[in-house]
Chains A and B, each alone.
Chain A
Amino acid sequence: MSINFKQIEDKLKTEARKMLEEGKVSLVLAYRKGYDENHPLPYVAKCDSDVDHIVFNEFCTANMARYLVRYPRGTKIAIAVKAADSRAVIQLIQEDKVKRADLIILGLPVYGMKNFKTGELIDSKTTCGFYNPVLYDILLGEEVHGQPVVSPYDVLADYEAMDKEARFAFWKKEFDRCIRCYACRKACPMCYCDPCFIDQNKPKWGEKSPESSGNLMYHLTRFHHLAGRCIDCGECSRACPVDIPLYLFHKKVAKECEEMFGQQAGMSIDDKPALVNFRVDDSDKILA
């Protein structure tokens, strides 16, 4: 059995058209066709004639939660979310960037999504291991059951087993390829700071030219800023033009946060992000 993407697309169009016609929402965040079927683009439908452009297929990997923070507060938005994207929406609600009441969340229960660059399946590698959206108002399609449950942290095993010299060499090689296009930052639903720390001149946190030292500073600090917030959608590594496996580091930090603080990012709108919260009985062992 596989997912019927055409059916989901039809349902998405029907719902989008209905909501735009009724005036319940002013925007629908979904996908449209790119230069061919395999390269869909993020799309904002603003009126019911726009709805015809909406597509949904296995290459629609973009995380539409990225675009929520671009609109003024109070804008009524309907957003199409996959499992990881729904966690991003929850995380944004936790951080009070969007209001739950302003959103209509259209859940897309899917598996078998493919990376549009390489065509490989992304389920086991860069997604959080969920198939059904965590939070939704309307579920488009059937809930996914019976798919193999994979731990999102399995891919880390090889890198955790590495000796620290080898790991440093690995990351240095990867970060040195960075051309500082900031596509990772642009694709990330959680990266909404204006200005970003790396764009500041006073204090100047790191070099802005693409050289080792600045790249290291930029990436390590970004991993830190996303600690306890990264929802493991893997968009950063798919957006990367030089294919740096950023998702590995994000996964590692997410794993450590889950072990230390006992909380996964974006699972409930009542949680507080792990790093703006504390427990008096946090153990000092976490610092060892």
Chain B
Amino acid sequence: MSFEPKILGIACNWCTYTGADLAGTTRLQYPQNLRVVRVMCSSRINPSFIFRAFQLGADGVLVGGCHPGDCHYNTGNLYARRRLAVTKKILEFSGMEPGRFRVEWISASEGNKFAEVVTEFTAQIKALGPQTKFKIQPESTLEKI
């Protein structure tokens, strides 16, 4: 069986999630590996979410937000941009493949872009293979919970 990655998508309610909706209503095809979580703003994303997702077995994390300047809350994604840039550098220096984490700005009208990004990102994760570095091993106590 070929490797089907698990990808966590964290999407902002106002742009990327609506963009995903548009991709759906326009019947665009994109891989089903993405599990989308909706948050109210990309600045809602605590960097620990990303570390935790990798620990709990995500092979990739895709964060979607409004284009800078288009944030529903005016400045949310500008804070998120700085914060997630640091997250990326930390993942990189700890030895994680930098390609497993990606931030994209996708607006509500960019259904096409959403489908493209997801297709491209899934292919990229497939090429990288399963993520084993951060994943908690089965003998760990966490599995029992």
**Mask: chain A, 171-211; 1 = CB below 8 Å from B; 0 = not:** 11000000000000000000000000100000001110101
For A277, the chain B residues whose CB sits under 8 A away are: 82
A249 to B92, CA, bound (A): 11
For A287, the chain B residues whose CB sits under 8 A away are: 81, 84-85, 88, 103
A159 to B96, CA, bound (A): 14
A216 to B51, CA, bound (A): 9
A220 x B51 contact (CB < 8 A): yes
B95 x A286 contact (CB < 8 A): no
Is residue B24 within 8 Å, beta carbon to beta carbon, of the partner chain? Answer: no
Is residue A261 within 8 Å, beta carbon to beta carbon, of the partner chain? Answer: yes
Question: Known: A197-B48, A216-B134, A224-B47. Is A275-B81 also a contact (CB below 8 A)?
Answer: no
A275 x B82 contact (CB < 8 A): yes
A233 to B81, CA, bound (A): 27
B82 x A224 contact (CB < 8 A): no
Determine how close the nearest CB of chain A comes to the CB of B87; give it in whole angstroms: 6
B142 x A256 contact (CB < 8 A): no
A268 to B47, CA, bound (A): 27
A284 to B51, CA, bound (A): 22
Is residue B133 within 8 Å, beta carbon to beta carbon, of the partner chain? Answer: yes
Interface residues on A, range: 35 or more
For B103, the chain A residues whose CB sits under 8 A away are: 287
B87 x A224 contact (CB < 8 A): yes
**Mask: chain B, 127-140; 1 = CB below 8 Å from A; 0 = not:** 00000011011001
| A residues 229-287 touching B (CB-CB < 8 Å) | 249, 252-253, 256-257, 260-261, 274-280, 282, 284, 286-287
Is residue B37 within 8 Å, beta carbon to beta carbon, of the partner chain? Answer: no
For B141, the chain A residues whose CB sits under 8 A away are: 207, 209, 211
Question: Known: A211-B140, A256-B86. Is A280-B94 also a contact (CB below 8 A)?
Answer: no
B85 x A165 contact (CB < 8 A): no
| B residues 65-87 touching A (CB-CB < 8 Å) | 68-69, 75, 78-79, 81-87
For B105, the chain A residues whose CB sits under 8 A away are: 284
A278 x B79 contact (CB < 8 A): yes
Determine how close the nearest CB of chain B comes to the CB of A288; give it in whole angstroms: 8
A284 x B68 contact (CB < 8 A): yes
A274 x B48 contact (CB < 8 A): no
A256 to B105, CA, bound (A): 22
A220 x B90 contact (CB < 8 A): yes
Question: Residues of A at under 8 Å CB distance from B?
Answer: 159, 164-172, 197, 205-207, 209, 211-213, 216-217, 220-221, 223-224, 227-228, 249, 252-253, 256-257, 260-261, 274-280, 282, 284, 286-287
Q: A206-B52, A224-B47, A257-B86 are in contact. List 6 more A-B contacts (CB 8 A).
A: A172-B95, A221-B51, A252-B89, A252-B93, A253-B90, A282-B68
Question: Residues of B at under 8 Å CB distance from A?
Answer: 47-48, 51-52, 55, 68-69, 75, 78-79, 81-90, 92-97, 103, 105, 133-134, 136-137, 140-142
